Amino acid sequence: MDSFLDIQRKKADADSKFIDCNGFRVHYKRYGSGKPPFIVLLHGSFLSIRSWRDVAVPLAENATVLAFDRPAFGLTSRPVPSRSNAARYSPEAQSDLVVALMDKLGMDRAVIVGNSTGGTLALLTALRHPRRVQGLVLVGAMIYSGYANSEVPAVMKPFMKAMSPVFSRLMKVIITKLYDKNIRGFWHVKSRLSDETLAAFRNDFMVGDWSRGFWELFLETHRLYFNRRVSSAWAPSLVVTGEHDLTVKTEESFRLARELPRAELLVIPDCAHLPQEEQPAAFVAGVKKFVEKLV
């Protein structure tokens, strides 16, 4: 069986890059001149860097754009945490990874763009590292539901950790069975997601011992209590929602725009949970307009 390093080499694109950071070998791509403003793109769960394929280059026309595969996804490594391994999958560790990557790649401050659970991490990064976040773009962000409001019971966690090989195999069976239906549910017009693109996303996700990596991420899920913390996020923010988003209901994004101290709202018509996929031109226009105000 190929090592993960071998898999990375075989599956990498011509513009793929890799960097060791906080215990992970992170797969990333960088676009633009290398000068500010800097934009960091955080994809949602079950997806990959591929989710930004139609918007990264246009966004980099007047900026430098960094997109990377989050831990447990894409071609970023999936090490099992241990005493000798710094890799951690908690939301806090993932937000710290964003800043650590910025440090390694020479980005002092950045506009953090997060979709779905990537939006969860974008907001958490702004709360944990406010001086490093120039602005936030929260796209169908899970703030009051889903990933941000779920928790593995503390009393069960030791048992679940001990049984990780069994539970990760069970999770593999379930996710494999439901993957295509789940991903199609992110789209408003299902036909816009071609079979080829769906297969590519599946291949991005199901790499190596992917179910064990996802299980480690799942084990570290806990409530982030954003309902108490949103008002502390002072970075200028753009809250984006697809008009037909059912994964993170539009009402949640409306609430987020109301409760963030310095937020504006953008509703993109004729799309659902992934505006950057279904309506890339409208998405790029909205984000560019927002970023221009910050410069």
Q: How far is CA 197 from the centre of its chain?
A: 18
List, for residues 155-209, the tens digit of each pLDDT value: 888 999 999 999 999 999 999 999 999 999 999 999 999 999 999 999 999 998 8
For the record, the structure tokens of 120 come out as: 């969860």
Per the confidence metrics, is the pTM higher than 0.75? yes
* pLDDT confidence tier of residue 2, bands split at 50, 70 and 90: low
Cβ pair 85, 23 in contact under 8 A: yes
Q: For the chain, give every domain's residue range.
A: 4-294
Residue 16 clears pLDDT 90, i.e. is over it: yes
For the record, the structure tokens of 207 come out as: 């790499």
Residues forming beta bridges with residue 32, ordered by sequence position: 64
Question: Cα dist. 53→50, 153, 225 in Å?
Answer: 5, 37, 32
List, for residues 248-274, the tens digit of each pLDDT value: 999 999 999 999 999 999 999 999 999
List, for residues 43-81, the tens digit of each pLDDT value: 999 999 999 999 999 999 999 999 999 999 999 999 998
User: How far is it, in rounded angstroms, from Cα 149 to Cα 268?
Assistant: 25
User: How far is it, in rounded angstroms, from Cα 165 to Cα 174?
Assistant: 15
Residue 275: asked if its preceding bond is cis (omega within 30°), the reply is no
Amino acid residing at 33: S
Q: Which of 241, 225, 251, 235 is nearest to 286 (CA)?
A: 241
**What's the rounded mean pLDDT across residues 240-245?**
98
Q: How far apart are the first and last CA of the chain?
A: 49
Look at the block and give the residue holding tokens 């440090």: 103
Q: How far is CA 107 from the centre of its chain?
A: 18
Question: According to CATH, what is the number of the domain 4-294?
Answer: 3.40.50.1820
User: How far is it, in rounded angstroms, from Cα 97 to Cα 26?
Assistant: 10
List, for residues 104-118, the tens digit of each pLDDT value: 999 999 999 999 999
Measured from the Cβ of residue 143, the count of other Cβ atoms closer than 10 Å reads: 27
Look at the block and give the residue holding tokens 């549910």: 185
Helix (H, G, I), strand (E, B) or coil at 267: strand
Contacts for 6 with CB less than 8 Å, ≥ 6 apart: none
User: How far is it, in rounded angstroms, from Cα 133 to Cα 263?
Assistant: 14
